[in-house]
Amino acid sequence: GENVEQHPSTLSVQEGDSAVIKCTYSDSASNYFPWYKQELGKRPQLIIDIRSNVGEKKDQRIAVTLNKTAKHFSLHITETQPEDSAVYFCAPKDPNSGGSNYKLTFGKGTLLTVNP
């Protein structure tokens, strides 16, 4: 199965600074790379994703970059705001796996704290 590691496990930044979270995976067949955000007491929700035919994707203040050769992808948040404080999870996936192999493995999460 997929081995997924996230770094750092905690990240504290000042409001307005940038934050970067990295996700390393083991399965070279993975070609779908999402990031999920979980606010305190809430459910995780998809915030951005990228597929392997694209190197970078942006959505306002967040972006995801992919390095397939090195098997890692990163979440970038610019001009951080207090409402960005949350736990962020990655979940790389091989969408061609099917049937009984359809496990979904998450990284352990990164707690981002944005200090006002």
Partner 1 sequence: DAGITQSPRHKVTETGTPVTLRCHQTENHRYMYWYRQDPGHGLRLIHYSYGVKDTDKGEVSDGYSVSRSKTEDFLLTLESATSSQTSVYFCATLSAGNTIYFGEGSWLTVV
Binding site for partner 1 (CB under 8 A): 32, 34, 36, 42-46, 49, 89, 91, 93, 95, 98-100, 102-109
**Cα–Cα distance for residue pair 71/19, rounded to 1 Å:** 20
Beta carbon nearer to partner 1, 10 or 18:
10
Beta carbon nearer to partner 1, 14 or 100:
100
Beta carbon nearer to partner 1, 18 or 26:
26
Smallest distance, partner 1 to C-beta of residue 108, A: 4
Do 61 and 77 form a contact (C-beta atoms < 8 A)?
A: yes
Beta carbon nearer to partner 1, 14 or 103:
103
- The CA–CA distances, whole Å, from 102 to 14, 52, 93, 96, 106 equal 39, 19, 9, 9, 13
Smallest distance, partner 1 to C-beta of residue 99, A: 6
